[in-house]
Amino acid sequence: MNDFSFLPFQNLESERLLLRQITNDDINEVFALRSNPETMKYIPRPLVTTIDEALGHIQMIQEKIETNEGINWAVTLKGYNKLIGIVGHYRIKWEHFRSEIGYMILPEYQGKGIVTEVINLLIDYGFNQMKMHSLEGIIDPKNLASARVLEKNGFIKEAHFIENEFFNGKFLDSAIYSLLNKN
């Protein structure tokens, strides 16, 4: 059994970014991210419609950290504490040494290389701290920007599943990208 723990919570840093714990103080930014049809366009989850739902999302993130099921960070620009995105490791299969990475960034911060910096931090944490053998990104195949950023960071397209998810009355495709730990 894996004895890794996400607690005590560890911040991650890159040249421009500080990834820190998400708190209730981030509620307005979490609401802005999760209620925005543009940021949620390729994420098959219901839009958050109330501040209470945003608070529930923050609490769910915290519970997953405490139970070692997953970890999310608030993405912030160094010296500026405001949450501009949420990133993390999801659907962790400890027994298979594999986890899924995910990321969402407010639209005004997209296209600035922030996601690449985030992915590098997630890769480093996943391989060197969590001791994963492989990481995966599961995306909507129509999300070409996400496909490009995964490929740019060494992920290889492993699979394209046809209509394997049902959301909002529609069947959706999924593409899986993966990266193996070569160390």
23-81 pLDDT tens trace: 999 999 999 999 999 999 999 999 999 999 999 999 999 999 999 999 999 999 999 99
Report the distance separating Cα 88 and Cα 162, nearest Å: 26
Report the distance separating Cα 100 and Cα 142, nearest Å: 19
Report the distance separating Cα 75 and Cα 85, nearest Å: 5
pLDDT given for residue 183 in this prediction: 77
91-144 pLDDT tens trace: 999 999 999 999 999 999 999 999 999 999 999 999 999 999 999 999 999 999
CA-based nearest residue to 84, from 115, 55, 125: 115
90-106 pLDDT tens trace: 999 999 999 999 999 99
- Domains defined for the chain, CATH in brackets: 12-133 (3.40.630.30)
* Local structure of 121: helix, strand or coil: helix
Region 86-93: mean pLDDT is: 97
Question: pLDDT tier at 3 (50, 70, 90 boundaries)?
Answer: confident
CA-based nearest residue to 58, from 76, 37, 77, 73: 73
Q: What pairs with residue 161 in β-bridges? A: 174
pTM of the predicted model, to two decimals? 0.95
CA-based nearest residue to 16, from 80, 73, 83: 80
12-13 and 98-105 beta bridge pairing: unpaired
pLDDT given for residue 70 in this prediction: 97
66-81 pLDDT tens trace: 999 999 999 999 999 9
